Amino acid sequence: MPGSFDRTGALSARVTSSQSARFDAASGATQPTVVARPDVPIVCVQGLGYVGAAVAIAVASARQVGGTPAYNVVAVDLPNEQGICRASALNDGRFPFATTDENLAEKMREVHAAGNLIACTDPAAFGTADVVIVDVPLDVRLMDEEPSLDMDVFQSAIRSIGRHMRSDAVVIVETTVPPGATSHVVAPILREELSRRGLPIGQFRLAHCYERIMPGKKYFDSIVNMPRVYAGIDAASAEACETFLRTIINVERCPLVRLSSTTASELAKVLENSFRAVTIAMMDEWGSFAEQVGVDLIEVVECIRSRPTHSSMRTPGFGVGGYCLTKDPLMGKLAAREIFGFEHSFPFAERAIEINRRMPHRVLERMKSLLHGNLKGRRILLLGVSYRQDVGDTRHSPSETFYEAAVREGAVVLPHDPLVEFWREQSIRVTSVVPQAAGLDAVLLAVAHDVYRTFDFERWLGSSRPLFFDGFDVLTASQRSRLKALGCRVESIGRG
């Protein structure tokens, strides 16, 4: 790894004059200018989505002992409308997505003032980097009868790095990938591209270190104050990765764990998410049963959690969304088939995906029954369109599944979300003001945003008395009691 770490953990290296370039976010062109700290390494973060944008800020926030920036950070996205918008936001000192994390917003302001974070859409930026962090998507095709890996975007991104990177750079893959991808896909592409450029193929260092980012109120903390797992394709790569991570992660509180291979590290991330998906699916089965026999499963789970071995037991909910749990449980099967060349079944993981996809449909059928078996013309207020509380990410949101199914049944669905202005998947604007209660037949609390937990529904109702359906234990016991006392019917997932 270029440069060396002194005893304080700060990396000391001098960026050459050829590396001192600023990249314009709008055009992707380079402009000769001096970086904020020409005496510290450059880190490129590839991909400015919900992970990459936050990682870029976290890396730019790293400080040496004297308080000066440890790195210059160049955040790189594609030269399309979305990439240009995200890069422009970072260059203006704004986080590209709605966030409830004040700490992340403050860190954004700090690194903007320090001037050691810039963003661009020019892949030539990778040629300046001592370290490249990969945070681009790797998808699973779910529309066909048999799921398959969609590696096109990911492989193209890796090729983009290989065409520009220095031969001695450190490349760290944070993307959730199928087991085997770093050694069987990434490494061969980098070697091929370096060879085409006439550069040595044995000097770069390659590692996998999966992120555990949780957008929400502790967005930034989930990067720097979270234990990390990593591995390299060889010992030198693992050492280089650890050396870098120690400057970003609070290792005194959050230890680093090195695994024996990148395949093991990749499997760890996929297994983490598969475990969550399977346990969520199991609770949906029990939630449905509890509703039918008149038991409050939320109450039951709370008492079970008092046992230390069961403290993380989940409660049933409206559905599973987001970019990870909706696809990651399938990656073991797909890695076996498409990377290693053998068949291996994962019945629990596949069944969990199926059950979790069905959850919003179960809610729809239950609401339909409560509304006398017909949704045609019914006006339903959908409170929350993001995939989880306190984030504005609508990818694979269970609200999307519900919305589309309810509209097909003839319902008029009014979406609201405090963190979403435009619902990209539905190409509709989302109101920032909760619509009036008059004329509503039902209110579905789909996301546990704080604003809904504290909303004065009694005052808002006026003379209206719609059905309230709590999909994620949003309402407090007091709220439920008061709404019932007013004459509203209140139903909940997992509560009979």
pLDDT tens digits, one per residue of 166-175: 999 999 999 9
Place of tokens 């209206």: 464
pLDDT of 278 reads 96
Place of tokens 């039902």: 442
Provide the residue type at 63 as one letter. Answer: R
The rounded distance, in Å, linking the Cα atoms of 266 and 173 is 10
3-state helix, strand, coil in the chain (%, to 5): 40, 15, 45
CA 88 vs CA 25, 97, 161: distances in Å: 6, 12, 21
Map out the domains of the chain with their CATH numbers: 4-260 (3.40.50.720), 279-492 (3.40.50.720)
Enter the DSSP assignment of 434: P
pLDDT of 145 reads 72
**Cα angle value 55/59/62 (rounded, 5°):** 145
The rounded distance, in Å, linking the Cα atoms of 102 and 381 is 29
Q: Checking DSSP bridges between strand 72-76 and strand 139-141, what pairing results, if any?
A: unpaired
Q: Sheet holding 442-445: strands in order across?
A: 412-416, 379-383, 442-445, 467-470, 490-492
Please answer whether residues 360 and 402 qualify as being in contact, where contact means their C-beta atoms are separated by less than 8 angstroms. yes
Please answer whether residues 119 and 56 qualify as being in contact, where contact means their C-beta atoms are separated by less than 8 angstroms. yes
pLDDT of 36 reads 56
Nearest to 416 by CA among 392, 439, 396: 392
Provide the residue type at 11 as one letter. Answer: L
pLDDT of 142 reads 81
The two tokens of residue 96 are 């590209």
pLDDT of 140 reads 94
- 10-residue stretch averages of pLDDT, the chain, 496 residues long: 31 32 41 55 97 98 94 97 96 95 97 96 96 97 84 97 98 98 98 98 97 94 97 98 97 96 98 96 95 95 96 93 92 97 96 94 96 96 95 95 98 97 95 94 96 94 97 93 96 93
pLDDT of 144 reads 62
pTM confidence score:
0.90
pLDDT of 107 reads 97
For the chain, count helices (H), then strands (E): 16, 21
**Cα angle value 135/140/142 (rounded, 5°):** 145
The rounded distance, in Å, linking the Cα atoms of 346 and 342 is 13
Nearest to 449 by CA among 425, 467, 473: 473
The rounded distance, in Å, linking the Cα atoms of 334 and 337 is 5
Provide the residue type at 59 as one letter. Answer: V
DSSP H helices in 127-259: 152-162, 181, 187-196, 221-224, 235-245
DSSP H helices in 46-118: 52-61, 81-91, 102-114
The two tokens of residue 24 are 């314009």
Nearest to 134 by CA among 84, 85, 185, 100: 185
The two tokens of residue 342 are 């053998």
Q: Checking DSSP bridges between strand 467-470 and strand 170-173, what pairing results, if any?
A: unpaired
* Residue 476 DSSP SS3: coil
Q: What count of residues does the chain have?
A: 496
Question: Exposed, middle or buried: residue 273 (CB in 10 Å: 0-12, 13-18, 19+)?
Answer: buried
Please answer whether residues 95 and 57 qualify as being in contact, where contact means their C-beta atoms are separated by less than 8 angstroms. yes
pLDDT of 338 reads 97
Q: Report pLDDT digits (tens) over 201-260.
A: 999 999 999 999 999 999 999 999 999 999 999 999 999 999 999 999 999 999 999 999
pLDDT of 7 reads 24
CB atoms within 10 A of CB 77: 28
pLDDT of 356 reads 94
CA 120 vs CA 47, 86, 123, 404: distances in Å: 10, 9, 8, 36
The two tokens of residue 470 are 């709590």
pLDDT of 146 reads 87
Q: Checking DSSP bridges between strand 412-416 and strand 467-470, what pairing results, if any?
A: unpaired
The two tokens of residue 98 are 């709605």
Enter the DSSP assignment of 6: -
The rounded distance, in Å, linking the Cα atoms of 139 and 296 is 37
Radius of gyration over every alpha carbon of the chain, rounded to an integer in angstroms: 24
* Residue 266 DSSP SS3: helix
132's enclosing H/E stretch is: strand 131-134
